[in-house]
Amino acid sequence: MSLPNWFTLRADDSFELGPRLFPGRIWTASGCFAYGLSGHDMTASDLASPYVGLGAVVTKTVTPAPRTGNPMPRLCELPTGAINSIGLENVGFDAFLQDILPQLEKMAVPTVVSLAASRPDEFGEMVQRLYGSAAGYEHWHGVELNLSCPNVAEGGHDFGGDPDTVAKCVAASRPRLPDRALLVKLTPNVADIASLAAAAGHAGADAISAINTVVGLDVDLKTGRPVLPRRFGGYSGPGVLPIALAKVDEIINKAQIPVVGVGGISTAEDALKFFALGAVAVQVGTAQMRDPFAAAELVKELSGQ
């Protein structure tokens, strides 16, 4: 494609985010490329692997203990995206540190680790252990605190919707992550996302990842019941692009903190819209689940190749 004159970046150029130099501006979103280990045996006619040019793979979210996730079915494809209720299924923090993170480093995957917990101090404890295990790793670039998953309600509430609690989660993590980037992933299911972003920034976050999925529901007309056993799920894909753009614009203009744009990116044109608003990088989510080369293809297009 012909890139617009105002777009002077190269998607595969390195850039600074907080204390870290990232190798590129196109990332994969958490949960959409598994832990980042599943694509090394894949090739395409124009790409050696799905990792070519990526700035980061944000891992599947890891929780303190293993999780089996929500009952099946967990994912329903829709004409304009998908609705999911995975329930943060993952191997647990101990297995991630022992088995997965060393493999990511060995395979030179640029990595941001997504973490979820149920208390602010638990985030701090996980970050401290992560740093102790991987402080010398070259390809581990930082942490994304997942404060916004709408499918798991630890303690009966979404603590990522309260500015004070967001600040406490960041404050518990920042001192334990001295030379890696600290990002906070925020929910769009709030009236004032900018106040959450500002709270994260004041507490020490380097950037905001926005947005996470929008709460949604679909109905199976054969049964007359919601398609997901837990009724509600996280809606993602092309249909949320205008919502994501609006929330990113709000954060950039009101909170004065760098933003990594997420939500509805399928094409180079979609990604350019986030960059036009001032995003420093973007993450590819649902499109990456459908095509493991989606993010790498965007790198090619947005680098003028």
Residue 100 to residue 137: CA distance in whole angstroms: 13
Mean pLDDT of 114-120: 92
- Sign of CA pseudo-dihedral 230, 234, 236, 242: positive
Q: What's the pLDDT at 34?
A: 95
41-97 per-position pLDDT tens digit: 898 888 999 999 999 999 999 999 999 999 999 999 999 999 999 999 999 999 999
C-beta of residue 277 within 8 angstroms of C-beta of residue 251:
no
Q: Is it the case that residue 100 has pLDDT exceeding 50?
A: yes
Q: Kindly state the tokens that stand for 96.
A: 């991630």
What are the distances in angstroms from CA 264 to CA 26, 86, 291? 14, 19, 14
Return the percentage of the chain with pLDDT > 70, whole number: 96
Longest Cα–Cα distance of the chain, Å, equals 55
- Return the active site residues: 149
Confidence of residue 305 (pLDDT cuts 50, 70, 90): low
Q: Kindly state the tokens that stand for 98.
A: 């022992």
Q: Is it the case that residue 39 has pLDDT exceeding 50?
A: yes
Q: Is it the case that residue 226 has pLDDT exceeding 60?
A: yes
What are the φ and ψ backbone dihedral angles of 162, each rounded to 5 degrees?
-115, 120
DSSP strand pairing (111-115 vs 81-84)? unpaired
C-beta of residue 289 within 8 angstroms of C-beta of residue 32:
yes
- Sign of CA pseudo-dihedral 294, 295, 300, 303: positive
Hey, what domains does the chain have and what are their CATH numbers?
15-65+88-216+236-302 (3.20.20.70)
C-beta of residue 257 within 8 angstroms of C-beta of residue 106:
no
